[in-house]
Structure 1
Amino acid sequence: MAADLGDLTAFVAVARAGGFRDAARASNGSASSFSEAVRRLEARLGVRLLNRTTRSVAPTEAGARLLDRLGPALGEVEAALDVVNGFRDRPAGTLRLNVPVSAARLVLPRIVPAFLAAYPDITLEVIAEDSFVDMLASGCDAGIRYGERLEQDMIAVPIGPAEQRFATAASPAYLDRCGRPEHPRDLLGHACLRGRFSSGAMTSWEFERDGEIVRVEPSGPLIVRAGAAIDLAVEAAIAGSGVIQLFEDWLRPHLDNGALEPVLESWWERFPGPFLYYPGRRHLPAPLRAFVDFVKAQGRWP
């Protein structure tokens, strides 16, 4: 009952992607070839592995059990094949990173171009989302997260800025019309533009000054998906719709050109920068090892 390795890999890709088209898109293959591979595997095993509808594909109970066992096994196969990379002049292959949208916008642009220039045989695939998925289950080699989101069995390497701040701001026209807050609790009387995580939780606004921490749950006319649609909230703030809180680096161009005015700047909260994280296994794929070494060589920036 030995199954073809390619068919097993295709099944894992489809199950993780949630569909044949998404799996094909991620690997530059065709949906029909993935469908045929899964059909062959099901025929060989004599059991249905995927439930298919017109809108989605999901593992059956048997498929879920197989997926749980295959993920680590295929990872070991990839690690074994990657040993050959040690005999190349320079590492090659694909490196997949799962990162928050903020890291894709504020951290990676200062790292990726130089890394790609240094390692032309490595293909970097970046999946940007803010849903805090299981990095390994999603088929990624490493991820970027902040300290409170890191799993304890992962190795964490500092990446990007040593420190960041959340900035609160609004357009001068809005503040002229509605007044300038003097304390974080004053925001409860203002129109605030907020974000919601994919889990459904709303982002709370936190402030700190002289050891005092104040958390507020403001309300307002606009709620956007955190990360994915945050630029809409920024444009609404510039247009005078209300107050926004976001990474200072994200708002900095608009603060510098006067489109936005700082609000409660002495209360802006500081926090440590993000980390590159990956499983604490003995052998790292060559592309990941190259990226880890590159990030370590750069170190934190001010």
Structure 2
Amino acid sequence: MAELQDIGAFVAVATHGGFREAARQSGSSASQLSEAVRRLEAQLGVRLLHRTTRSVAATEAGQRLLEQLTPALDAVTSALDVVNGFRDRPAGRLRLNVPLSASKLILPRILPPFMAAYPEICVEVTVEDSFVDLLRSGCDAGIRYGERMEQDMVALPIGPRTQRMALAASPAYLQQHGLPKKPQDLLQHICLRGRFSSGAMPAWEFHNKGRTVVIEPAGPLIVSLGAGADLAVDAALAGSGLVYLFEDWLRPYMERGELAPVLERWWPAFSGPSLYYPGRRYLPAPLRAFADFIQTMRW
């Protein structure tokens, strides 16, 4: 009978699409995983993975094996996790996949008290702004804003239920270029834009008394939304143009007078983020504790 460790190595590599990423997620090494998969293939007498210098993919036999193994290994993990119910406090690892905005604006208020309440849970946070397949990424749960969830996903509110986008500029910029009085005035101003990883560049949207105005402003700087947002803020602080970002992101600069709010009565509101995770899988004790914890918090 194949060693369970070798089977786990194959599942990790096939799920993550490569030895290097599987090693990063599992805490093992790529060479150890490669040797484990070779042992399993030798024992079964069939090739399970296609290997090239650029990619790794399951063969037809490997895909069939993966489909059969995944629910079985989930059941094993669920059975072992039952032991957590006999502990005074749950223990283990909680893996979260979150956008930069959540890591900056949401988690700093949640994680310190959660880690104090559950010191035996290790929280591992991966920050990326693209929507990911949680199972393939090896994460237990994710945080996202407004994306369409698959039908088998459970979504719980996390953080403030309503947030706003804000527009701001440095006092020096406004003194030199004047204060916009309406959204259409932005077409005559220098604006610092952002682009999603998909390549799309979102327009700037404004709402006031049931009226919506969508602007496609121009400017000399385009940053990647998420990872490059702080660069846009720095440029705005230096007087290079207007920045359009989460209100909570810009609020500290406005409170210190480094940035001034612009068109505040037009700032649009939107629903806050959700914690989501697969509903068909068992709920590991660390994730169950985290889900219960966020529902007790007030914003």
Q: Which is further off, 282-291 or 262-271? A: 282-291
| Distance in 1 of aligned mates of 2:256 and 2:249 | 13
Matched AA of 2:47: V
SS of the residue corresponding to residue 169 of structure 1 reads: strand
1:17 CA displacement: 4.0
Asked whether the equivalents of residues 47 and 59 of structure 2 are also in contact (C-alpha less than 8 Å), the reply is no
Asked whether the equivalents of residues 130 and 227 of structure 1 are also in contact (C-alpha less than 8 Å), the reply is yes
1:101-250 maps to which residues of 2 (within 5 A)? 101-250=100-249
1:153 to 1:172, Cα distance in 2 relative to 1, 3 A: same
Q: Does 1:40 align with 2:39?
A: yes
State the partner residue of 1:90. 89
Q: Does 1:293 align with 2:279?
A: no
1:134 to 1:243, Cα distance in 2 relative to 1, 3 A: same
1:50 CA displacement: 3.8
Consecutive unaligned residues of structure 1, counting only runs of 5 or more, are none
What CA deviation, in whole Å up to 9, does each residue of 1:11-57 have, x standing for no partner? 3333444443333233332222122122223333421514231xx43
Q: Which is further off, 82-91 or 264-273? A: 82-91
| Distance in 1 of aligned mates of 2:88 and 2:265 | 52
Number of aligned pairs? Answer: 297
Consecutive unaligned residues of structure 2, counting only runs of 5 or more, are none
Could you tell me the percent identity over the aligned residues? 66
| Distance in 2 of aligned mates of 1:81 and 1:247 | 42
SS of the residue corresponding to residue 150 of structure 1 reads: coil
Q: Which is further off, 276-285 or 132-141? A: 276-285
Asked whether the equivalents of residues 15 and 57 of structure 1 are also in contact (C-alpha less than 8 Å), the reply is no
1:257-272 maps to which residues of 2 (within 5 A)? 257-272=256-271
| Distance in 2 of aligned mates of 1:177 and 1:102 | 31
Aligned counterpart for 1:57 among listed residues 44, 51, 55? 55
SS of the residue corresponding to residue 134 of structure 2 reads: coil
Asked whether the equivalents of residues 187 and 218 of structure 2 are also in contact (C-alpha less than 8 Å), the reply is yes
1:190 to 1:290, Cα distance in 2 relative to 1, 3 A: same
| Distance in 2 of aligned mates of 1:200 and 1:64 | 32
| Distance in 2 of aligned mates of 1:127 and 1:90 | 24
1:81 to 1:244, Cα distance in 2 relative to 1, 3 A: same
Matched AA of 1:9: G
| Distance in 2 of aligned mates of 1:174 and 1:201 | 27
Asked whether the equivalents of residues 93 and 124 of structure 2 are also in contact (C-alpha less than 8 Å), the reply is yes
SS of the residue corresponding to residue 140 of structure 1 reads: coil
Q: Which is further off, 62-71 or 156-165? A: 62-71
| Distance in 2 of aligned mates of 1:223 and 1:51 | 38
Asked whether the equivalents of residues 10 and 38 of structure 1 are also in contact (C-alpha less than 8 Å), the reply is yes
| Distance in 2 of aligned mates of 1:66 and 1:223 | 46
1:268-283 maps to which residues of 2 (within 5 A)? 268-281=267-280, 283=282
Q: Which is further off, 226-235 or 71-80? A: 71-80
1:73 to 1:202, Cα distance in 2 relative to 1, 3 A: farther
What CA deviation, in whole Å up to 9, does each residue of 1:129-177 have, x standing for no partner? 1101122221211111223443343222211112211011111222222
| Distance in 2 of aligned mates of 1:158 and 1:204 | 26
| Distance in 2 of aligned mates of 1:230 and 1:219 | 17
1:287 to 1:244, Cα distance in 2 relative to 1, 3 A: same
1:297 to 1:240, Cα distance in 2 relative to 1, 3 A: same
Asked whether the equivalents of residues 171 and 239 of structure 1 are also in contact (C-alpha less than 8 Å), the reply is yes
| Distance in 1 of aligned mates of 2:211 and 2:227 | 31
1:9 CA displacement: 2.1
Matched AA of 1:47: R
What CA deviation, in whole Å up to 9, does each residue of 1:107-144 have, x standing for no partner? 01111111111111111111111101122221211111
Matched AA of 2:182: H
Asked whether the equivalents of residues 71 and 137 of structure 1 are also in contact (C-alpha less than 8 Å), the reply is no
1:1-40 maps to which residues of 2 (within 5 A)? 2-40=1-39
1:228 to 1:68, Cα distance in 2 relative to 1, 3 A: farther
What CA deviation, in whole Å up to 9, does each residue of 1:70-109 have, x standing for no partner? 4444323221221121122221111111111111110011
SS of the residue corresponding to residue 88 of structure 2 reads: coil
Q: Which is further off, 64-73 or 132-141? A: 64-73
